[in-house]
């Protein structure tokens, strides 16, 4: 989906200094370069050498790029927006594994506005009450991903 990659799609513009390190656009000797990267949803299946983290140059310590600008978008997977999840007959609980890709650093998870005790990229929700749910995750750079779904008996 195009909205998952932002307005630049898989074309990833960055500013490099003379040594090839990523810098802010206003740094001396900064030149814009465009890298072509695989779409974010495919990263899980790519060899580590083909992932964005390996293909993009390191950040300069002297004139680092603005935080979050080149951070991959935070994406939530495991349940789709508007999904209706049904319990199997005789099943008391549903275990719903969800995970994030992209983003930066620690994660904060919230289910229906209440914090969920996990700081990892993945989470297994144990659900047993029918109704509507909203799952929100936020990363250290302030990016937020959310999904609304329903559990039916």
Token reading at 113 = 């506005």
pLDDT confidence of residue 34? 87
Question: By the 8 A CB rule, do 85 and 151 touch?
Answer: yes
Q: Is 64 among the domain residues?
A: no
CATH number of the domain to which 81 belongs:
2.60.40.10
Question: Domain tally for the chain?
Answer: 2
Instruction: Clarify whether residues 88 and 47 are in a common domain.
Output: no
Ramachandran angles phi, psi of 45, nearest 5°? -100, 0
Token reading at 2 = 């195009």
Q: Is 65 among the domain residues?
A: no
Instruction: Clarify whether residues 101 and 142 are in a common domain.
Output: yes
Q: Give rounded-to-5 percent helix, strand, coil for the chain.
A: 10, 40, 50
Q: Per-residue pLDDT averaged across 109-121, rounded?
A: 90
Helix or strand (DSSP H, E) at 53: helix 52-55
- Nearest residue to 75 via CA among 53, 52, 102, 97: 102
Residue 7's CB: how many other CB atoms inside 10 A?
A: 7
> Taking 80 as the threshold, does the pLDDT of residue 5 lie above it?
no
Q: Per-residue pLDDT averaged across 144-148, rounded?
A: 89
Domain that holds residue 118: 75-152
Instruction: Clarify whether residues 148 and 80 are in a common domain.
Output: yes
pLDDT confidence of residue 2? 36
Q: What percent of the chain has pLDDT over 90?
A: 38
The alpha carbon of 128 is separated from its chain's Cα centroid by a whole number of angstroms, namely: 27
pLDDT confidence of residue 70? 53
Ramachandran angles phi, psi of 24, nearest 5°? -70, 155
Give the pLDDT confidence of 36-88 residue by residue, as tens digits. 888 766 776 788 888 877 888 988 989 888 755 556 788 999 999 999 999 88
**Model's pTM, two decimal places?**
0.58
Q: Is 69 among the domain residues?
A: no
Instruction: Clarify whether residues 85 and 32 are in a common domain.
Output: no
User: Which of 8-22, 62-76, 130-144 shows the lowest mean pLDDT across its residues?
Assistant: 62-76
- Nearest residue to 102 via CA among 59, 44, 58: 44
Instruction: Clarify whether residues 85 and 127 are in a common domain.
Output: yes
Write b or e for each residue in 21-55: b if 16 or more Cβ atoms lie within 10 A of its Cβ, otherwise e. Answer: bbbeeebeebeeeeeebeebeebeeeeeeebbeee
């Amino acid at each position: 989906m195009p909205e998952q990659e932002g307005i630049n799609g898989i074309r990833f513009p960055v500013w490099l200094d003379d040594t090839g390190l990523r810098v802010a656009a206003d740094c001396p000797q900064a030149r814009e370069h465009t890298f072509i990267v695989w779409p974010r949803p495919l990263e899980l299946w790519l060899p580590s050498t083909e992932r964005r983290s390996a293909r993009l140059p390191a950040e300069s310590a002297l004139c680092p790029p603005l935080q979050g600008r080149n951070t991959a978008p935070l994406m939530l997977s495991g349940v789709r927006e508007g999904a209706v999840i049904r319990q199997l007959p005789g099943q008391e609980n549903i275990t719903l594994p969800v995970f994030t890709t992209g983003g930066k650093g620690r994660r904060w998870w919230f289910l229906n506005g209440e914090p969920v005790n996990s700081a990892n990229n993945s989470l297994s929700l144990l659900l047993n009450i029918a109704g509507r749910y909203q799952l929100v995750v936020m990363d250290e750079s302030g990016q937020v991903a959310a999904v609304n779904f329903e559990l039916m008996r």
